Amino acid sequence: MHIMPHCAIGPVAFTSCLHVDAIAPNFLIQEQVDSCLGEGLLKHPWRVKDGHILLPSEPGLGIDLDEREVQRKCRYTEELGGEYAYESDGSVADW
């Protein structure tokens, strides 16, 4: 049976999904939203070419976060759909 994973969380989770997809013999298609491609959060956002995304050859997940943009854009101050920000240390708990 084919699998068709869904990922609408963000570019880091999407990158992890792509790595799992690459080794799953029954992978068919990866669902995503434009924000998962990392425009403005990754130094080199994912590029879709002919409906495909090539895995990176760099170490780890193969992505580089633009940390300044992440800090500017990803500030949680209240509960947002299951996430909660802890002001004491800046961590975020998910559900």
Lowest model confidence (mean pLDDT) among 4-8, 17-21, 41-45, 60-64: 4-8
**pLDDT digit string, tens, across residues 81-91:** 666 677 788 77
- Say what the pTM is: 0.71
Q: What is the rounded distance in angstroms from the CA atom of residue 93 to the CA atom of residue 83?
A: 6
The proportion of the chain whose per-residue pLDDT surpasses 90, expressed as a percent, equals 26
